Chains A and B, each alone.
Chain A
């Protein structure tokens, strides 16, 4: 019944971050509307931690992770939600809401990775911990991350216009 949308418009890019990425890269390299040649590369080791903050609470239906098929794509992805000040220490000690082992086809073809929506029915922030990559090397690269779902609030504030404008 409810249409699921790309939640990119609801992502608060200013308060979202990617830890252990190359210093010059920005979070908008992977959180973006269309696929392009930008990506995020891991820096010190092969782990990446993406903290996504939403502007309002959402229900998350699924996620798409795009990467190259050359072995730099991520393999083990642990998903956490609604955490405060989430770093690598917490990512490795806490129990994730979801754990996924990604396969090469899923990331090269951009397949939907389904979440159990009942567990993600009230998400303010989503945390993706990419623990290792498919090739086992020291560098992990991600091209794009798309979060699919539906916002909890039905009022879309940006669509509210004053009466004069409509005339």
Chain B
């Protein structure tokens, strides 16, 4: 989560009319820029991204550094293909733009796309590389289309600008059917500040969302909620399993006793929680053997594509959860009304009218005044109250 101000340099010279990258070099750069800007701003809301077009009469700062992704999309559409690329001046103008950034605490970065054969001398490039290093500006270069011709010059530029491995050179060779944005995403140099792909549990948030973060809750709130809950359940199970395996069966019994006490003191909330814990413990007893599988799971996850990861996680969580809990998550199985073990957090959240209203408002195409919706909410609340009464009766 680095605080960063970034200027992206786009090669809009005539060389990028070439169609060797689908649909052509220029448009694939636009796609990549949208992806990069989205990733950076998602990593940190305060990060700024600016865009500079390198070719034409002179390099032109198309977009001053901003943290609004919408502006990035608008700006990229305004750029025309013209002329020849001027690398040195473009870098200097980008440097100036970064120097006058509004928040001095931002780290400075330049991302440059190169799709034309370079005419600048190697010494000049080395000089500008040292200049960037002196001003503590890190440089990432995406070289594609003319990779062999530019390889030597660009690597010397990166070497001179590099201080502590903050600069990267990504060379994408031309081959059929390559999508530039995919290659960039796969390389992971923009996914996190350390330059590595976030291979952890949360990174399978789907293509287009960026490697390091979870699913955007505004885009798909249900999916985000589902993923979060399955993550939490997973963590709870993991901690429980580790406790069990250290031979603490006595403690387990104590836990249930303590929970009983809590229930009396705290009432419904604790009661529901204890029931879910009991349920989880029962499942764990039966499936103790799977512990070995689960520690491998994380390493396995990294090897799968995002879709496969999704399926795998769903499968795992489906195995562990009751079908009743599934209904609460809104996945499948609309049957079995008795003894629902609902997620207590969701229950309580639904009770809160304001929260429900705000969630409904954020969903597109939903009119909160709608009769059907208000009725449905009432029904859910009634169900909850019935549940709690039933549980209380069972206790007695």
- A interface with B by C-beta (< 8 Å): 14-15, 17, 19-20, 22-24, 43-45, 47, 85, 87-88
Contacts and interface: CB of A to CB of B under 8 A. Distances in A.
A24 B105 CA distance: 16
Contacts of A17: 104
B99 A87 contact: yes
Given A87-B99, A87-B135, A88-B135, A23 B105 contact: no
Interface of B: 99-100, 104-105, 130-131, 133-136, 163-164, 166
Given A14-B105, A85-B99, A85-B100, A44 B134 contact: yes
Contacts of A22: 163
A45 B134 contact: yes
Nearest to B101: A85
A24 B134 contact: no
Nearest to B104: A15
Given A15-B104, A19-B134, A87-B99, 20 more contacts: A14-B105, A17-B104, A19-B135, A19-B136, A20-B134, A23-B136, A23-B163, A24-B164, A43-B133, A43-B134, A44-B130, A44-B134, A45-B130, A45-B134, A47-B134, A85-B99, A85-B100, A87-B135, A88-B131, A88-B135
For chain B, what secondary structure do more than half of its interface residues adopt (helix, strand, loop), or is it mixed? loop
Contacts of A14: 105
Nearest to A88: B134
A118 B136 CA distance: 34
A88 B164 CA distance: 21
Contacts of B135: 19, 87-88
Contacts of A47: 134
9 contacts: A19-B135, A20-B134, A24-B164, A44-B130, A44-B133, A47-B134, A85-B100, A88-B131, A88-B134
Sort A-B residue pairs by CB-CB distance and give the 5 closest, nearest first. Answer: A23-B164, A20-B134, A85-B99, A44-B134, A44-B130
A14 B104 CA distance: 9
A148 to B, nearest CB: 25
Contacts of A15: 104
Nearest to B130: A44
A105 B134 CA distance: 29
Contacts of A87: 99, 135
Contacts of B99: 85, 87
A47 B135 CA distance: 12
Nearest to A14: B105
A18 to B, nearest CB: 10
Nearest to B164: A23
A45 B143 CA distance: 28
Contacts of B100: 85
Contacts of A88: 131, 134-135
A14 B106 CA distance: 12
A134 B135 CA distance: 23
Contacts of A20: 134, 136
A22 B164 CA distance: 9
Nearest to A22: B163
Contacts of A23: 136, 163-164, 166
Most buried by A among B131, B133, B134: B134
Contacts of B134: 19-20, 43-45, 47, 88
A85 B98 CA distance: 10
Most buried by B among A22, A23, A47: A23
Contacts of B164: 23-24
B109 to A, nearest CB: 14
Nearest to B136: A19
A45 to B, nearest CB: 7
Nearest to A53: B104
Contacts of B136: 19-20, 23
